[in-house]
Amino acid sequence: MTTTHKPPFQLFIFLSIIAIACTSSNTKNQNILPYNVDIEKNIKNIKSIPLSELGEKVEYLPLETTPNSLIRRIIGIQFSEKYIFISDFDRLLQFDRVGKFIRQVGDNGRGPGEYIHVSDFWIDEMMEKVYVMAWGISTIKEYDFNGNFLKSFKFDFSSLQFVKTGNDTYTFVITNAPINFDKDSEFRLIETDSTGTIKSKFRNYNRVYNIPPFIVTKIPMYYFNDTIRINEGNYKTSDTKL
């Protein structure tokens, strides 16, 4: 008489787990294989530029990681001689030039020296001040390099981007929007003083007429040799003329 022994149920479960684990491991390995994308081959209007043409040296600067200095994303970054200011939209963080975390400039909230989000910011190294455009409330908030809140002013138009172009002059970029989107959308730049009073306006010669509406919220812009330089792209007409 022949007796057949069935494997214990526990052994069956154990072998099944091993099989599943091996299958999952193989699938995982297949999914993380490196993919090479030849950008120059697929995009015809770019070319490689040696780093030596962009600067004399490249520095790798690790930023200090603390619970108060974690950065989810970098929306804006500006350098002074002593500090690095980085916005991740939620906060404006200040580091020294070796990456040590100094402070958050301003607090999150709705009080006088607080903001919910940072639309844009600008540093004035000579005056050792930093100016924050508070998102959603059309307000510029002024702080010193020690993080102290000094004052603020409101402006009466839609803007997500600005530069400080003088001791008492702020130049705002107006969102490039379709007709009737905003009362000031016919203008591209608006200058105000430190109280928000408008000093001058520059007409928008690159108005967007796309239907459905195509809104350009931020554009490449910098301030150099007392001149605002902006890159409008190629939408409907020629570049913006001031």
Instruction: Give kind and range of the element (H or E) at residue 96.
Output: strand 92-96
Whether the bond into 212 is cis, omega within 30 of 0: yes
Instruction: Give kind and range of the element (H or E) at residue 92.
Output: strand 92-96
Contact 116, 106 (CB under 8 A): no
Distance, CA of 175 to CA of 202 (rounded, Å): 13
Give the pLDDT confidence score for residue 33 in this predicted structure: 59
List pLDDT tens digits, range 147-200: 999 999 999 988 899 999 888 999 998 876 655 455 666 788 899 999 999 999
Question: pTM here?
Answer: 0.71
Instruction: Give kind and range of the element (H or E) at residue 115.
Output: strand 114-115
According to CATH, the topology of domain 59-154 is: Thrombin, subunit H (2.40.10)
pLDDT, the chain, mean: 78
Residue type, 97: R
List pLDDT tens digits, range 19-45: 444 454 444 455 555 667 676 676 776
For residue 240, the Cα-to-chain-centroid distance in whole angstroms is 23
Order of all β-strands in the sheet with 139-144: 118-124, 129-134, 139-144, 149-154
| Cβ-based neighbours of 140, under 8 Å, separated by 6 or more | 131, 132, 133, 134, 152, 153, 154, 155, 162, 170, 196
Residue type, 138: S
**pLDDT tier for residue 3 given thresholds of 50, 70 and 90:** very low
Contact 197, 155 (CB under 8 A): no
Residue type, 36: N
**pLDDT tier for residue 229 given thresholds of 50, 70 and 90:** confident
Contact 102, 83 (CB under 8 A): yes
Distance, CA of 66 to CA of 239 (rounded, Å): 44
DSSP 127-149: TTEEEEEETTTTEEEEEETTS-E
Paired tokens of 151: 């004052």
Give the pLDDT confidence score for residue 87 in this predicted structure: 96
Contact 133, 107 (CB under 8 A): no
What are the sequence ranges of the domains in the chain?
59-154, 160-242
> Is the confidence at residue 84, as pLDDT, over 80?
yes
List pLDDT tens digits, range 111-156: 989 999 999 999 999 999 999 999 989 999 999 999 999 999 999 9
